[in-house]
Amino acid sequence: MKIAFIGDIVGQPGRKMIQTYLSQIKKEEALDFVIANYENASHGFGLTMKNADELFSAGVNVMTGGNHSWDKKDILPLFESREILRPHNYPEGVAGTGVKTYEVAGEKLAVLNLMGHYGMPYTDNAFRCALESVQGLKEAGVQNIFIDFHAEATSEKRGLMMMLQGEVSAIVGTHTHVSTDDLQIAHNTLYLTDIGLTGCRDNVIGMDKKAPINQFMTGLKSHYDIPKKCKKIMQMVIMDLEDGKCQSAYKVKVFDDGRVLKTEAWREED
């Protein structure tokens, strides 16, 4: 199966890039399934019903979340009516789920959403949750397992890779909005510390620069806003999965000025 993952969609600029380019890329790259992270999709914080439907209509198949999953009240009915996940390591009793299995190109594909600990809201242990979830999926006959690890600390993301390499198909990090340059395949597991945002590329993590710069200068927080005009980017990882193994992968950056950049994953020899 050939699937893609799109990083944190930030506000209207990010949604616009999805609406403009995703259907074309799905056709050109012969994609079977598209996963995207929604947690900043509605003006930078959470997800509304309207924006969810926009993204699904544009070609997204399932969406993962993070610490901003709860910022819009629409999220609770969305858990019931749409293919929307939230971090699976939230405590028992929290609405929604962080893992679902799909039939894709004649095989089963599990999508698992986890959230890290450093600088994040209180949750159960992400690493124990990951081990238990992966074991349960394999016992259910699922070989292809994709993980969106929404975390601040790069060490947590790398630690999950060291723990699960060879056990899952792919681990891709989200949350920082800044793309890292370590796309690799090791022991048949794809890994990328952070995929980077889809949205404004000429500001601060997709937000207007004024509020963050003021905070850096004064120590005083103010409301972060999405710029009304900006230069935009869509970032995605495309991967070929077979029998639970990542056969090949590459990063695609689509710019709103028409440029498309592709970078192949490097393979770590066993």
Q: How confident is the model at residue 228, as a pLDDT?
A: 85
Catalytic position from the list 68, 88, 175, 177? 68
Residues of the chain with pLDDT under 70: none
Give ∠ CA 124-112-194 in degrees, rounded to 5: 90
Q: How confident is the model at residue 60, as a pLDDT?
A: 98
Q: How confident is the model at residue 41, as a pLDDT?
A: 98
List beta partners, residue 235.
Answer: 253
Nearest-angstrom CA–CA distance, 172 and 164: 12
Catalytic residue status for 68: yes
8 A C-beta contact, residue 45 and residue 12: no
Residues 129, 134, 136, 139, Cα dihedral to 10° = -160
Q: How confident is the model at residue 29, as a pLDDT?
A: 97
User: φ, ψ for residue 159 (rounded to 5)?
Assistant: -65, -40
Q: How confident is the model at residue 268, as a pLDDT?
A: 87
Using a 10 angstrom Cβ sphere, with 0-12 exposed, 13-18 middle and 19 or more buried, the burial of residue 181 is exposed
pTM score: 0.97
Q: Which domains does the chain have, with CATH numbers?
A: 2-268 (3.60.21.10)
Give ∠ CA 2-267-260 in degrees, rounded to 5: 55
